[in-house]
Structures are given as C-alpha cells and as structure tokens.
Amino acid sequence: MSHTLNEVLDAASVIPVLVVENVSDAAPLARALKAGGLRVLELTLRTPAALDAMKAMQDAEPELIVGMGTVRTPQQAEASRKDGAAFLVSPGLSPKLTGAMLDTGLPCLPGVATAGEAMSAIEAGFEALKFFPAEQAGGLPYLKSIAGPLPDIRFCPTGGISRERAPDYLAASNVACVGGSWIATAAQIKAGEWDAITANAAAATAMKA
C-alpha cells in the first residue's frame, strides 16, 4: 500500500531510527514496535542487512509504514524504492540525489540544516524536510526562529534528540514528528530486549496523543 507524505507524517509521532544488523531481528522488532503503538519506522542503510530487514518487517507487520533512511546516492534511492520502502529519508541533499529521490515518486524527507537549504529543497519540489543533525545544528531554538519567515515548511528533526526533549520538539508549530534512536538502540535490538523496546515505543506513541 502506498502512502502520501501527509499520511506518513500524520501517522508518525517519534519515528524510531533503526540500525538492524541481522535480518532475524527484523520480525520481532516490528512486532515490538507495533505493540507499543508506533506505525511509522525508519530503517537506516548502515548495514548490509538493511533492505532485507525492511522487507522482513513489512512481512511481519503489514500495517507498519516502513521507510529507508541514510539514503545518500541515486542507486540507494532506487534500490529502496524497488524493495518496497514506504518513504525515503536522507541526511542531506546533492543535485543528483535530489532528482533521484523525486523520481522515485515516494514520500521523501531530505535532510537540511539551514534556512537556505530548506528553501532550496522546497523549491526543488520536496514538501517536508528532515532537520539534521537537529541538536547539533541549533535544535529547537533554531526551528522556532525560522518558523516566522518559513511558516509553511514542516520538519522532522532528527539527531541527538533524547526521550526527554522529544515532547518539546513535537509541541513546536513547524514540527510534524521527530526521529529518535532511543526507542530501539542497536544494542537493545542485538540483545533482543523486545519488552523494553515496546515500552519505549508506547512512551513515544503517547507523546503525540
């Protein structure tokens, strides 16, 4: 099932940013996150298992909206689309990647860190943006400062946002959702701490209630 960008953002609260090293962890991870109420997940292309893990998560829990992050090249954008990614997320933008992401026809959250980058991305045709690395690039004060001149741009800030800080971000007028690695860390996934991950997912879900 395909989704529009607005559908993805409306279904999201804190999007878990996931690093999955073993495909065998994908199905129990999907079940743990869904049990906590989350619907939108972002895997990252940081391991060789990422694309297979994405498919395994979708097979295990078809209602989940599973996207692929850390997309850096046109080839990665196309491979993610071909393997069924629901949306794409990138850490930044280049001219080649801009065209490739838009050509997939998928909802995209390209990474930007400045007002100028945000304006260029919207001009290129993107509808919403990832603010990355959020905490290191000015955090919530920066996002609030550009809400006045850029009131129509919605962001998904990601990068260094803790469980404690996430609700403050979600309360901002120009924030649609946030990304957080704290929901399911690589160590928790590797150790199979599914109950702890479900509890973190439930906390994240409640933040947008």
- What type of residue is 51? L
Residue 82, H or E segment: helix 74-82
The rounded distance, in Å, linking the Cα atoms of 127 and 167 is: 23
Residue 55 a catalytic site member: no
User: Each residue of 56-71: b (16+ CB within 10 Å) or e?
Assistant: bbbebbeebbbbbbbb
Residue 82 a catalytic site member: no
The rounded distance, in Å, linking the Cα atoms of 158 and 46 is: 16
HSE-CB of 50 using CA atoms within 13 angstroms: 22
Rounded to an integer, what is the distance from CA 113 to the centroid of its chain?
16
Which one of the listed residues 7, 34, 42, 127 is annotated catalytic?
Answer: 42
The rounded distance, in Å, linking the Cα atoms of 68 and 78 is: 11
Which one of the listed residues 96, 130, 190, 193 is annotated catalytic?
Answer: 130
Q: Which two tokens stand for residue 107?
A: 């909802």
Helix (H, G, I), strand (E, B) or coil at 18: strand
The rounded distance, in Å, linking the Cα atoms of 60 and 31 is: 7
The rounded distance, in Å, linking the Cα atoms of 188 and 104 is: 33
Residues serving a catalytic function are 42, 130
